[in-house]
Amino acid sequence: MIRFLVTTIAAYAVYLLLTAGSGSIILWSESELIIGLCLAIIVGIASSRIFCRTGSPRMANPIRLLLLAVYAVIPLFIEMARANIDVAVRVITGNVRPGIVRVRTGMKTDLGQLILANSITLTPGTLTVDIDDASGDLFVHLINVPDDIRTKKSIEARELFSFFNIPAWIRRIAE
């Protein structure tokens, strides 16, 4: 039941966002509101098993969603800008020393792993290649491997980022 409710509300919210500005009841017209509700109920029945697979409504907490938005706008965007300028310099000068290293994450949930892997892909000169299912370690391709990382067997996820403690942010959002 909780799965169906969460999926229906999410689908209705997306529908309302896509049709904003169509009428006079706040921003929407009557027909859009009714059709959207019908479609959201159909989507909720059809895909609730896929949308929240674990059945725990933890990510429906509005504080976590707000924190996710703040995370995307401030720390992730600044790290992205730094990484892009770094890669832009490497595109022009052409000096690369690539390599694949093993990164310990310490994430307990699948969602945390997903957000961390995507953040690593979008930020500083790194790209997630594969994942070790048993231990939850990520294999990360670095465009420029520093000397002190090259000799180590595995490194902490914290050492990949420069300004913010991204793994702690993700732990606060997803766990």
Partner 1 sequence: MITTAAMICIGIGVLFNALGVIGILRFPDVYTRLHAETKMTTFGTIFLALGVVLYAGGMLMNTNDTQYLTLAIHTVIAVIALAFTNATGSHAIARAAHRSGQLPDPSVVNRLSEVKRRD
| Contact residues: partner 1, CB under 8 A | 17-18, 20-22, 27, 80-81, 83-84, 87-88, 91-92, 94, 96-102, 117-118, 121-122, 125, 127-130, 132-133, 139, 141, 143, 145, 150, 153-154
Our CA angle for 19, 25, 26, nearest 5°, is: 75
Q: In b/e form, how buried is each residue of 96-125, taking b as 16+ CB within 10 angstroms?
A: eeeeebebebebebebbbebbbebbeebbb
Report the nearest approach of partner 1 to the CB of residue 141 (Å). Answer: 5
Q: Output the smallest distance, CB 81 to partner 1, in A.
A: 7
User: Between residues 6 and 101, which has the closer beta carbon with respect to partner 1?
Assistant: 101
Phi, psi of 153 (to 5 degrees): -70, -45
Instruction: Decide whether 90 or 158 has the Cβ nearer to partner 1.
Output: 90
CA-only gyration radius of the chain, Å: 21
Task: Kindly state the smallest distance separating residue 51's Cβ from partner 1, in Å.
Answer: 15
Opening angle at CA 74, ends 138 and 79, nearest 5:
45
C-beta closer to partner 1: residue 49 or 97 = 97
Compare residues 4 and 102 and give the one whose CB is closer to partner 1.
102
Under DSSP, the state recorded for 69 is: H
* Min separation Cβ 130 and partner 1, Å: 5
